[in-house]
Amino acid sequence: MNIRDFLSVKDVAIDVAVSDKQKLLLELASKAGARLRLEPEHILAELSKREQLGSTGVGDGVAIPHARFSEIEKTFGMFFRLRKPIDFDALDGKRIDLVFLLLLPEGSKGQQLSALACVARKLRSPAVTATLRKSANATEISRVLAFE
């Protein structure tokens, strides 16, 4: 599996202005809801439920919020680069500025693990995150993320 299988350039946003974790999750839910024709409130509820289990802020300024939905048939991804880092209760205590949203089909445990591993592996690289932070536009970010 490759990130290009579930991330489109139109689902990449840079300089997103949010002030806290809840506002970020709401913005992600609103954008994803519009793209997938799902109620943003439903997406927000599932993302919030997942965050209650433990933060998806994985460290080094990166968060990978995710949830499963019976209403979708294939994995959907969205990437935000924030204008200013925010507190996200990340595992390392650092603020986050790179966010990769994953919405996964309900019955796809193997697909879920594969997509999460794919994103985590890519965003674990300091060279990749440095490039994402200085990329000029969504097209550049998409290329960086999709490149194997």
Mean pLDDT in residue range 83-111: 91
- Torsions phi, psi for 62 (to 5 deg): -115, 140
Active site residue 66: yes
Mean pLDDT for the chain?
A: 94
Q: Would residue 62 be called left, alpha or beta, if left means φ above 0 and alpha means ψ between -120 and 50 degrees?
A: beta
How far apart CA 33 and CA 42 sit, in angstroms, is: 9
Which pTM was predicted?
0.95
Q: How far apart are CA 112 and CA 75, in angstroms?
A: 8
Which residues share a beta bridge with 69? 105
Check 21, 31, 66, 81 and give the catalytic one. 66
List, in order of start, the domains of the chain with CATH numbers. 3-146 (3.40.930.10)
Is pLDDT of 47 > 60? yes
Select from 49, 119, 40 the least CA-distant residue to 79: 119
What pLDDT does residue 147 have?
78
